[in-house]
């Protein structure tokens, strides 16, 4: 990973975007430097997609400024960036090879010579027929073909099996190691863990930013160990506390040990209640409820 001298490949400064009376993005400042992986986390509707579109130059901000490679986003900057939207941006009625040729022609690059074994096996099949995992692989290859300096990935692994997901992230890390800046959105906690830094958006604003441990801070969750996990779960839900089940283990983010003990006592459930460090997911829940 790079030190403070790293070049910034994408940056937003105080960006706000309103649609009529609705404020989609509010005063968001963030940056992606070369060689780092920044994870953009938040609910759908939190403003992630709008922010990405502004960064890409597809949408103008109502206030604030945006820069790509230290310039205003334009047709020139498009040449240096690779974007994989949520819907993949592939033509399902063309074959794998035809899709790659189209992208190559559009960017003035060449079709990658070496495809993975799995992709080579289906290079003459229609994209609509090859399955989601391979489609996501293909979308990556297409986005990387012109050697971009910035990769923007919107939910690149949604719906794919764990092995394929980890392989896609191998590619992401490879690119970051080579100096490409990566901005990625994800709903998988385990993937958020792999990012160098996270930007957490709630209702259009940045609720938290930094490394995973910085974001978790010193937050704790309450862990409930008991045989009667079923009843404990109900008692806590009745008390309007957010409850997570991890195996037989009941965890309550965003509550104090006292609150939990009281709720359990009211339902007559006996349990061993302790405060433990929060996980990233639990921190997100706390931030979301704020």
Partner 1 sequence: MWAMVMKEFQELRRDRRTMAMLIALPLLLLVVFGYAANFNVSSIPTNTYGPQAQKVADGLKDPFDVRTVDPGGSRNDAETAVRDNKVDVAIVSQSSGKPTALIDGSSLFAAQSAVSAFAMSGGQVETDVLYNPELKTSWVMVPALAGLILTFIGVIVTSLGLVRERQEGTLEQLAVMPFRPFDVIGGKIAPYFVFAAVDMVLVTVLGVILFDVPFNGSVVVFALGSLLFLLVLVGLGGLISSLSQNAGQAIQLALFVMLPSIMFSGMIFPLAAMPWTIRWIGYVMPLTYFINIAQGVMLRGAPFTALWLSFLVLAVYAVVVFTAAVLRLRRDLAPNVKAQPRQDVAAKTAVAA
Partner 2 sequence: MSFGLSEVSVRFGATTALDHITFAAPRGSVSAVVGGDGAGKTTLLGCLTGAIEPDSGRVERPAKRLLGVMPSTSGTWRDLTVDENIDFVARAYGITGEDLRAKRGRLVAKAGLDRARDRLARQLSGGMRQKLGFVLALLHGPTLLVLDEPTTGVDPVSRVELWGMISEAAAAGAAVAMATTYLDEAERATTVLVLDSGQALASGTAGEVIGSLPGTISVVDRPADPRRAWRRGRVYHEWHPGGDSTSAQIDSDVDLEDTVIAQMLRRREHAST
Interface with partner 1 by CB under 8 A: which residues?
44, 86-88, 91-94, 98, 101-102, 105-106, 126, 128-129, 131-132, 135, 155, 158-159, 187
Residue 1: name its binding partner from partner 2, partner 1, none (Cβ under 5 to 8 Å by kind): none
Contact stretch for partner 2 (CB under 8 A) within 4-12, 18-26, 102-110, 228-236: 228-236
Structural contact between residues 256 and 287, judged by C-beta atoms closer than 8 angstroms: no
Contact call for residue 47 and partner 2 (CB under 8 A)? no
CB of 259 to partner 2, least distance (A): 17
Contact call for residue 244 and partner 2 (CB under 8 A)? yes
Contact call for residue 178 and partner 2 (CB under 8 A)? no
User: Closest by alpha carbon to 203, among 52, 49, 45?
Assistant: 45
Our CB check for partner 2 shows the closer of 8 and 239 to be: 239
Give the three-class secondary structure for 107: helix
CB of 25 to partner 1, least distance (A): 18
Structural contact between residues 278 and 222, judged by C-beta atoms closer than 8 angstroms: no
Our CB check for partner 2 shows the closer of 23 and 79 to be: 23
| Residue 282 CB contacts under 8 Å (≥ 6 apart), including other chains | 219, 221, 244, 251, 253, 254
Strands 249-252 and 244-246: antiparallel
Q: In what order do the strands lie in the sheet with 8-19?
A: 22-33, 8-19, 63-68
Our CB check for partner 2 shows the closer of 23 and 158 to be: 158
Our CB check for partner 2 shows the closer of 66 and 182 to be: 182
Report CA-CA distances (Å) from 165 to 64, 99, 185: 35, 22, 14
Our CB check for partner 1 shows the closer of 6 and 132 to be: 132
Q: 21 phi and psi, to 5 degrees?
A: -90, -5
Structural contact between residues 26 and 204, judged by C-beta atoms closer than 8 angstroms: yes
Residue 91: name its binding partner from partner 2, partner 1, none (Cβ under 5 to 8 Å by kind): partner 1
Contact residues for partner 2, defined by CB under 8 A? 41-46, 131-133, 155, 158-164, 166-167, 169-170, 173, 187-190, 193-194, 230, 233-234, 237, 242-247, 281, 284-285, 288-289
């Amino acid at each position: 990973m790079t030190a403070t001298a790293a070049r910034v490949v994408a940056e937003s400064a105080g960006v706000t975007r309103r649609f009529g009376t609705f404020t989609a993005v509010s005063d968001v400042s963030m940056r992606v430097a070369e060689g780092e992986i920044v994870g953009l986390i938040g609910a759908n509707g939190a403003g992630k997609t709008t922010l990405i579109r502004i960064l890409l130059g597809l949408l103008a901000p109502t206030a604030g400024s945006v820069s790509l490679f230290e310039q205003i986003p334009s047709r020139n900057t498009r040449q240096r960036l690779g974007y994989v939207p949520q819907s993949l941006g592939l033509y399902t009625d063309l074959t794998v090879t035809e899709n790659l040729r189209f992208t190559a022609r559009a960017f003035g690059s060449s079709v990658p010579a070496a495809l993975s074994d799995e992709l080579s096996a289906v290079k003459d099949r229609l994209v609509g027929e090859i399955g989601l995992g391979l489609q996501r692989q293909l979308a990556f290859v297409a986005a990387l073909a012109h050697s971009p300096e910035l990769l923007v990935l919107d939910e690149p692994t949604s719906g794919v099996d764990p092995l394929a997901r980890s392989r896609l992230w191998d590619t992401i890390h490879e690119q970051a190691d080579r100096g490409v800046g990566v901005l990625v959105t994800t709903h998988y906690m385990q993937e958020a863990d792999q990012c160098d830094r996270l930007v957490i958006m709630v209702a259009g604003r940045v609720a938290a930013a930094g490394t995973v441990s910085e974001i978790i801070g010193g937050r704790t969750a309450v862990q409930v160990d008991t045989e009667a996990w079923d009843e404990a779960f109900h008692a806590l839900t009745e008390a309007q506390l957010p409850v997570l089940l991890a195996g037989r283990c009941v965890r309550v983010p965003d509550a104090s040990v006292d609150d939990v003990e009281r709720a359990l006592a009211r339902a007559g459930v006996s349990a061993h209640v302790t405060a433990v460090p929060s996980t990233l997911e639990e921190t997100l829940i706390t931030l979301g409820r704020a």
